[in-house]
Amino acid sequence: MNSTAENALNFIKNAIASGRTVYISSMTKVTAISPATFARWEKSGHSLFKVAADGNLMMASGKAYGRITSGEMMLVGLSAS
């Protein structure tokens, strides 16, 4: 896993663990992920976030995954509140 993917995944997991909502933003959409939403995904057996074979962080979009990082570059905005 590259350091950008690792840092992003740690940020997401730490924010969720502390009860905060994580926001993933692209050019056209902001997705809010509350701790309850994250827990439902984990319970379903289909992870919301995963690290691909190439070391990049991916986020589920239905049954497919979209890329959040590419190498050392973030492809989306990431925040929590």
pLDDT at 8 over 90: yes
Question: What is residue 49's predicted lDDT score, i.e. its pLDDT?
Answer: 95
Domain ranges of the chain: 3-80
Tell me whether strands 30-33 and 49-51 are parallel, antiparallel or unpaired.
Answer: unpaired
pTM of the full structure? 0.88
Tens digits of residue pLDDT in 21-47? 999 999 899 999 999 999 999 999 889
> Could you tell me what percent of the chain has a pLDDT over 70?
98
Q: Tell me the Cα Rg of the chain.
A: 12
Tell me the C-alpha distance between 11 and 43, whole Å: 21
